[in-house]
């Protein structure tokens, strides 16, 4: 019999989160990347892996691309997966440059029923009880990613990209500040 798989994205309504850095030694960020991931996400060495590392030394600036992923088991049925992609440039002479860090997280809930009866018992259990736990796991995943983003911002003076939602919210705040007060007594 097949598997039931439910995937919840952690960063809803956005799919990805970005951080940008411009300054000296952008490659220094990747030196302690694995140790930092293990510390913030509380995973073992086998659950945090470098998927791809590409360098281009042929020109100036030097370009680099790096991919990481990590898995964290949350329960018997649930697992958190987070992926990171880094793309950057370093000048050969000045040793300064920039990089962008992209983060994506999801929580997968997997159940392999042995027959049709256990499949329907799982669906009822999922509907009544496990949905609340799924929501908590999604929030936990978002919190891990936000904690990592805050740690990186604190140690490397990075900024997040302003999204359309952030611009809209700040625009609403500006309009509310400039708008004359409304007289509700009329």
Residues 6+ apart with CB under 8 A from 37: 43, 48, 68, 70, 84, 148
Left if phi > 0, otherwise alpha if psi is -120 to 50, otherwise beta: which for 23? left
Left if phi > 0, otherwise alpha if psi is -120 to 50, otherwise beta: which for 127? alpha
d(CA 23, CA 19): 13
Give the percent of the chain with pLDDT over 70: 83
Q: Is 144 exposed, middle or buried (0-12, 13-18, 19+ CB in 10 A)?
A: buried
pTM of the model: 0.76
CB 149 within 8 A of CB 160: yes
User: Do you know the residue count of the chain?
Assistant: 186
* Tokens coding 148: 């990592």
Q: What is the pLDDT of residues 63-84, one digit of tens each?
A: 889 899 999 999 888 999 999 9
Residues 6+ apart with CB under 8 A from 53: 64, 65, 66, 67
Better-predicted residue by pLDDT, 15 or 30: 15
């Amino acid at each position: 019999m097949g598997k039931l798989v439910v995937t919840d994205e952690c960063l809803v309504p956005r799919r990805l989160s970005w951080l940008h850095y411009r300054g000296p030694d952008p490659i220094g960020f990747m030196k302690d990347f694995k140790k930092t991931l293990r510390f913030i996400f509380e995973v073992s060495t086998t659950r945090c892996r470098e998927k791809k590392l590409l360098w281009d030394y042929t020109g100036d600036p030097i370009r680099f691309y790096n991919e990481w992923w990590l898995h964290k088991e949350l329960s018997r049925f649930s697992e958190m997966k987070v992926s990171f992609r880094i793309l950057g440039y370093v000048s050969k002479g000045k040793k300064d440059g920039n990089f962008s860090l992209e983060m994506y997280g999801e929580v997968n809930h997997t159940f392999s029923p042995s027959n049709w009866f256990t499949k329907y018992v799982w669906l009822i259990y999922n509907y009544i009880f496990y949905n609340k736990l799924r929501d908590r796991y999604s929030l936990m995943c978002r919190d891990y990613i936000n904690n990592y983003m805050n740690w990186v911002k604190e140690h490397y003076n990075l900024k997040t990209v302003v999204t359309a939602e952030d611009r809209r919210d700040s625009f609403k705040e500006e309009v509310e500040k400039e708008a004359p007060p409304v007289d509700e007594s009329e």
